[in-house]
Structure 1
Amino acid sequence: MAEAHQAVAFQFTITPEGIDFRLSHEALRQVYLSGLRSWKKKLTRIKNTVITGVYPASPSSWLFVVVAILATLYTRSDPSMGLINKIQEHLPVSGYLSHQSQTLLSALLFATLLWLAVILTMRYILKQLLSYHRWMFEVHGRMSNKTKVWLALVRIFSGRKPLLYSYQASLPHLPLPAIKDTMRRFLESVHPLLDDEQFKRMSALASDFENNLGPKLQWYLKLKALWASNYVSDWWEEYIYLRGRSPIMVNSNYYGMDFLYVTPTPIQAARAGNAIHAMMLYRRKLNREEIKPLLVQDCVPMCSDQYERIFNTTRIPGENSDAIQHMQDSKHIAVFHRGCFWRLWLYHGGRLLSPREMECQIQKILDDTGIPQPGEEKLAALTAGDRIPWAKARKAYFGNGKNRQSLDIIEKAAFFVCLDDSEQGMMGEDPGKSLDAYAKSLLHGKTYDRWFDKSFTFIVYKNGKTGVNAEHSWADAPIVSHLWEYVLATDCFQLGYNEDGHCKGDVDFTIPPPHRLTWDIPKECQDVITSSHAVAQALAEDVDFHVLPFREFGKGCIKKCKISPDAFIQIALQLAHYRDKGKFCLTYEASMTRLFREGRTETVRSCSKQSCAFVRAMENNRIELSEKLRLFQLASEKHQHLYRMAMTGGGVDRHLFCLYVVSKYLGVDSPFLKEVLSEPWRLSTSQTPVQQVELFDLVNHPDYVSCGGGFGPVADDGYGVSYMIVGEEMINFHISCKISSSETNAHRFGRHIHQSMMDILALFSNGKKNL
């Protein structure tokens, strides 16, 4: 076969005349092109490191400073105030240079030192400016003069044309709150959930902790906050994610959906070809740092640290703790179809495969009639079950031989692709039911057809619908969402399809076909696979899912009420939950702390005294409309304050979590921390933000809207709710819970959300607000 010959650079045989070399010129050419690509990447990485290293200045500014210093010397003035002469006196090579050369070299050294000093000064000033966050607490539309001056200074010291990681060194560290502030905010958050006796008891526990054990634990956290870039993130990654021993499927992984109303092509291989090519274009931009850093108010940068591990990343199981394995590069992807695993090369001849070539490669996998090897079909169930059996099986049965080689191919792939043989999306006679099934499929599939340990699994269905399932430890949902937005937009609006639904472009038929992975899985390992599959199957079958596309109104209508859309939705969720269960509960809303270096998330405790007062008023027909509107306004303002506090490092839960970790290291027990951190989040919520609005033209293409994504329930008797504000006129909700709980029902809760949204809007309509 041609590809077999291309895999060997040269061959030789011993002949009577000597050694006969037979070179394969094509193979040598591939080696050369591959090496050339690697060196180009290295040079680009070095160049970007230099540019980022001197930001907010530019490398060219060094030449300007040097020329300016030399010019002043020729005018017989000394801008260094004698420092150039001091440097000249101590030059180690002064005996080998003329006086003029010594002067030039000294001036060059001084100019370089001056340039570096200016860079460090600019960075320090920018860091101090970015540490100011009071601008977030000002009334929307009423910017103070102080904030205007601050914004102007930030723009001056922010530099021009930043790369993805340009601002990293200038981002401030996450501040460590005082113990007394965290205790006060915590007690305020639980007050509406406890009766008088319970609150009195909790206040006593908090007071004892604040006055006794708390200061000792805080001292260690202060040391860490001084030493580490972020006092939370490494412990959060390790203890919340990597040390978890339960399945990550449903419990941790989350998903993202395709367009709601549109499927650009019904051809599975074509959709896969375009999307995979778009992902690799994104990776190229990522490697070159050409992705623009996310800016708040178009000038305040957010941390870009999490982008680094989007590709070439796998979670490796361990008996006590998992680990994250990240490769600098990967030239292939791993593909799963009908129980068989494949390696598909992404490059040929030193270039990325075109969408049409990728489609042909995918089609070869789809057309293959091979059957799975023993144990191969459900092998990925190991990644869906408990972590300890998977870690032990990996060590015992995948340590060497063909199993080790095949597992390496999967774990070192750029990402994982599942060619699903089912059809999904909003379709059929019951589009709502089919949408729910689509969500469940993305969350867990058949429990053995996604490699849940990969940074993300790209799923392509038989009818051309797509989706993504992402592992959570390496990054948070906005990072995957950023990639997914780019892929959807590039697939449809840049790459496109021809009239027959196939990818555009030509095909090089000399490209080697995909390589089928081989396994030798013993009976004992197959038993572990069967056991893991049973655990995963039971978990998947217990998930109840409902996707609610809310079309009655959206962000545009809410803004006319002069209310934050997020606050509006969160208060509606509180009202819906009270109607669903007849009580309030501890509520988790995820917010980002990426205003700080290596920031991830903080919890907004959305159930507040103000939101509870409003909900009770809504359920009391004797209360006047004006009073309900007043209470809603108070609840909205309180929620916005809580969200801003969380974003600016004034949250409660990450501080308490780190105090708890320190207590475990010290071997001391805290009744307060133990009780606080064991409380379940019966309502866990998260917003999926649209970060690249410019990629989607909803005016001319209103059907090209994403449905967002979702996650599994956090508590056995609770709800998980993800929502996405799409354009001005639509909000999509993803609701999950467990079927085994008698207290929850996803569709019932969806009806309550719908009615709560309508009832709150009716307050403004009946109050004669200008909508």
Structure 2
Amino acid sequence: MAEAHSAVAFSFAITHDGWDVNFDREVLYLVWESGLRSWKKRLARFRNSVSNGVYPGHLQSLYVLWALLVATHFGGFNIPFGLVQKALAVLPGTSTMWQVIACLLAALTMWLSVIFLMRYLLKVLLMYKGWMYESRAPGARISFKTMLWVSVVKILSGWNKPKLYSFQGSLPRLPLPSVKDTMIRYLNSVRPLLDDENYQRVERLAKEFEETIAVKLQRYLILKSWWSSNYVSDWWEEYVYLRGRSPLMVNSNFYGTDAILLRPTTNQAARAGAIIHFCLQFRRLIERQELEPIMLQNMVPLCSWQYERLFNTVRVPGVETDKLVHYQDSTHVTVYHKGRYFKLMVYSRGRLLRPVEIQRQIEQVLHDKSEPMIGEERVAALTAGERSHWAHIRQTWFNRGHNRTSLHCIERAAFNVCLDDKEYGYDENDPSKLDEYCRILLHGQGHDRWFDKSFNLCFSKNGFVGFNAEHTWADAPVMGHLWEYVIWFELQNGYKADGNTHGIIETAPPPPIRLQWDLNKEELMKGIDVSYNVAQNLLNDVDLRILTYTQYGKGFMKSCRVSPDAFIQLLLQLSYYRDAGRFCLTYEASMTRLFREGRTETVRSCTIESTAWVRAMEDPNATVEERMQLFLKASKRHQLGYQDAMAGRGIDRHLFCLYVVSKYLELDSPFLQEVFNEPWRLSTSQTPHGQTNMLDMKKYPKCVSAGGGFGPVADDGYGVSYIIVGEDTIFFHVSSKKSCPITSSSNFVKQIERSLKDIKELFTEYNKLKKK
């Protein structure tokens, strides 16, 4: 009974001697601190909402205007439009106090009018995308229209330092293309992939679609584009991600690697303590909106909507569709180590624990000798298997008792931490180590990552770190921003000579809490095994190879006056043709965050111009001049396609939304069926690097991340992620399926190396001819 009483924070009883009140001061203090922190956050959110609502204005300008109107009014001068007199007419008095209040109302009216005029003007200006199409070549002239636009935008957005969400209300909506424009772009994109007979067939289908049901479907999309913030994003999240029933592992989640040339410490606990602290520090910047928004050209803002769900977020499985759940706050992270789960409180007495304190908690987890409970080691395999199966198991076995409590703890955590009991990382003398490192980040052992969480931090026994991120809540650039921040602050803070974090522990941090499970049920264990077997089959089929290319990089590409992204996409087209002997539909992800709640658009990298250049490279009779002219023409065409995608003039998101409306209306379209039956055999993405000005590559040349990657989209295709780092390094992450007899990641990597060499030789030979 004594233990039961001590577990209760407050008790009240009536005895013969009167009232008996017992309470635990420590627990009540924790409750008080939690409530106080919650109200502080609400107050900060309200203050930020007001500040964002009047951006680019500032509240101080209101006070200045008020003081000016008071001085003007009492000086006997007339206020424009008689605003003070009109205000006094509705106020209950005309004393000095009421006159000052009338001046405040007049100032507020004038101030809000100017603010909303500025916001509307900024929104109209941000709709202009002509600046994207201006040449950035040395010596190129910028049009007067763009120069004038730049000047006005800088004036309007430079008055006040922006907060994370300051520009949200000023961002334009994603424009809805016309059906006619989309059909023209679509037919141009598939022309190099089809012979004359098939192209004419698709052309007939497109024309029939455009003249019939497309008219009705487009009307609904016009209505949605007027009514919603973004006519694509909500449907994209629901139908592409949440309604998918296949496993998240490999198929959806992506990974990111460490700064591989830096070895700040080999101490697993110290590295974990520091990285966890800096991630939570980043979360605090998001909550307080002190994080500056990403600005293109230090002038044009990108949408910051996706940052809101970076932390405290989980994808909850459903039988037919999942749902994304974001919790407003979380004071803990969960940790997986040797088949056991722990809860780590990362706040104590109202403050975030320092790295040295979190290190102490991690050390306690590492030194814990307890054995996993029955089924605990593989319970996360449920998140790696089929979604409907996981949903049935969750509804049946995780709705009460220890299972419900522990699951709730993991899902509410800020993020999940995986302390792996093996060494992995980068070794300059053994390239295969990098392949193994990335495979571990992509899928682990299939049961040691909670794939539903927004992201998992993975720490090797020898101090390397990486992450595995769920894709529904956001796209890779947001995780890239977090990662740049974390690596930068780790560089600034460093570690002691013995590898431990800096600082001294004055008060012992809250100890780790072991999560409890009740999984010893035959049916439940069979359900875990089903997901585990699915995960094992999936991860064993992954063929992942990483190419570290150091012969040249961005420096050489820019000297060729070619967009680095276009350069890489063209060499991938050449590599795929040499590998497969044909061309294929190619997906490259481009962002649409220049618009409110924008996510991605597809750049169809296989074009008429790129295929002509590839054929010239394979034609022994083609001259150097011919190949070069075709290369430059293809690179310009790719750059135009990328710019169109960023400017809201893409193809695939519009077709996707037309398809969704057709399904709602139960209208069959042979054309749309044709479009969505085409497999993306080559799916590519560039890992963002240097989104902020924090990482100075000249000062820290070894601060090189290998980027990240993802699994193949098609069973007979490749997933290729690349990152261009510094002036002379490129990383390629190539994935495919071992079960496919016509794909090989190793062979594709060899073809990429060959293409890189051939393109450099092409430019070298062309420059020699020009000199002659």
The answer on whether the counterparts of 1:274 and 1:495 sit within 8 Å (CA) in structure 2 is no
The answer on whether the counterparts of 1:604 and 1:646 sit within 8 Å (CA) in structure 2 is yes
Aligned equivalents of 1:133, 1:9: Cα separation in 2: 60
Cross-structure match for 2:721: 722
Matching of residues 75-224 of structure 1 within 5 Å: 75-89=75-89, 91=90, 93-94=91-92, 97-98=93-94, 100-141=96-137, 142=140, 143-158=142-157, 159-224=159-224
Cross-structure match for 1:520: 518
Aligned-pair CA distance for 1:35: 3.3
The answer on whether the counterparts of 2:357 and 2:508 sit within 8 Å (CA) in structure 1 is no
- AA in 2 matched with 1:746: S
Aligned equivalents of 1:291, 1:98: Cα separation in 2: 46
Cross-structure match for 1:273: 273
Residues matched between the structures, number: 764
1:417 aligns with 2:417: yes
Matching of residues 621-636 of structure 1 within 5 Å: 621-636=620-635
The answer on whether the counterparts of 1:244 and 1:321 sit within 8 Å (CA) in structure 2 is yes
- AA in 2 matched with 1:203: E
The answer on whether the counterparts of 2:294 and 2:691 sit within 8 Å (CA) in structure 1 is no
Aligned equivalents of 1:166, 1:173: Cα separation in 2: 16
1:164-191 per-residue CA deviation (whole Å, 9 max, x = no partner) reads 0000000000000000000000000000
Percent sequence identity over aligned pairs: 53
Cross-structure match for 2:495: 497
Cα 1:712–1:619 shift into 2, 3 Å: same
Q: Secondary structure at the match of 2:499?
A: coil
Aligned-pair CA distance for 1:561: 0.8
Aligned equivalents of 2:691, 2:219: Cα separation in 1: 42
Q: Secondary structure at the match of 2:81?
A: coil
1:713-735 per-residue CA deviation (whole Å, 9 max, x = no partner) reads 00000000000111111111100
1:598-627 per-residue CA deviation (whole Å, 9 max, x = no partner) reads 000000000000000000000111111011
Aligned equivalents of 1:88, 1:352: Cα separation in 2: 50
Cα 1:490–1:627 shift into 2, 3 Å: same
Deviates most, 133-142 or 33-42: 33-42
Aligned equivalents of 1:65, 1:682: Cα separation in 2: 61
1:33 aligns with 2:29: no
Cross-structure match for 1:249: 249
Cross-structure match for 2:234: 234
The answer on whether the counterparts of 1:171 and 1:596 sit within 8 Å (CA) in structure 2 is yes
Cross-structure match for 1:613: 612
Aligned equivalents of 2:648, 2:310: Cα separation in 1: 26
Aligned-pair CA distance for 1:697: 3.5
Q: Secondary structure at the match of 1:548?
A: strand
Cross-structure match for 2:766: 767
Q: Secondary structure at the match of 1:591?
A: strand
The answer on whether the counterparts of 2:481 and 2:692 sit within 8 Å (CA) in structure 1 is no
- AA in 2 matched with 1:512: P
Matching of residues 399-418 of structure 1 within 5 Å: 399-418=399-418
Matching of residues 567-646 of structure 1 within 5 Å: 567-646=566-645
Cα 1:395–1:115 shift into 2, 3 Å: same
Deviates most, 527-536 or 509-518: 509-518
Cross-structure match for 1:713: 712
1:331 aligns with 2:331: yes
Q: Give 5+ residue unaligned stretches, structure 2.
A: none
Cross-structure match for 1:286: 286
Aligned-pair CA distance for 1:259: 1.7
The answer on whether the counterparts of 2:260 and 2:426 sit within 8 Å (CA) in structure 1 is yes
Matching of residues 533-552 of structure 1 within 5 Å: 533-552=532-551
- AA in 2 matched with 1:373: M
Aligned-pair CA distance for 1:423: 1.1
Aligned equivalents of 2:367, 2:634: Cα separation in 1: 58
Aligned equivalents of 1:212, 1:727: Cα separation in 2: 51
Aligned-pair CA distance for 1:212: 0.7
Aligned equivalents of 2:690, 2:223: Cα separation in 1: 35
Q: Secondary structure at the match of 1:380?
A: helix
Cross-structure match for 1:564: 563
Aligned equivalents of 2:675, 2:49: Cα separation in 1: 43
The answer on whether the counterparts of 2:52 and 2:166 sit within 8 Å (CA) in structure 1 is yes
- AA in 1 matched with 2:535: A
The answer on whether the counterparts of 2:710 and 2:735 sit within 8 Å (CA) in structure 1 is yes
- AA in 2 matched with 1:497: Y
Aligned equivalents of 2:73, 2:509: Cα separation in 1: 62
Cross-structure match for 2:58: 58
1:373 aligns with 2:373: yes
- AA in 1 matched with 2:235: W
Aligned-pair CA distance for 1:46: 1.8
Aligned-pair CA distance for 1:7: 6.7
Q: Give 5+ residue unaligned stretches, structure 1.
A: none
1:270-328 per-residue CA deviation (whole Å, 9 max, x = no partner) reads 11001001111111111111111111111000100000000000000011110010011
Aligned equivalents of 2:217, 2:737: Cα separation in 1: 37
Matching of residues 334-413 of structure 1 within 5 Å: 334-413=334-413
Aligned-pair CA distance for 1:667: 0.9
TM-score (norm 2): 0.96
Aligned-pair CA distance for 1:48: 1.2
Aligned equivalents of 1:36, 1:7: Cα separation in 2: 23
Aligned equivalents of 2:523, 2:399: Cα separation in 1: 15
The answer on whether the counterparts of 1:687 and 1:723 sit within 8 Å (CA) in structure 2 is yes
Aligned-pair CA distance for 1:88: 3.3
TM-score (norm 1): 0.96
The answer on whether the counterparts of 2:243 and 2:320 sit within 8 Å (CA) in structure 1 is yes
Aligned equivalents of 1:329, 1:106: Cα separation in 2: 41
The answer on whether the counterparts of 1:357 and 1:508 sit within 8 Å (CA) in structure 2 is no
Cα 1:509–1:99 shift into 2, 3 Å: closer
Q: Secondary structure at the match of 2:731?
A: strand
Aligned equivalents of 2:703, 2:301: Cα separation in 1: 29
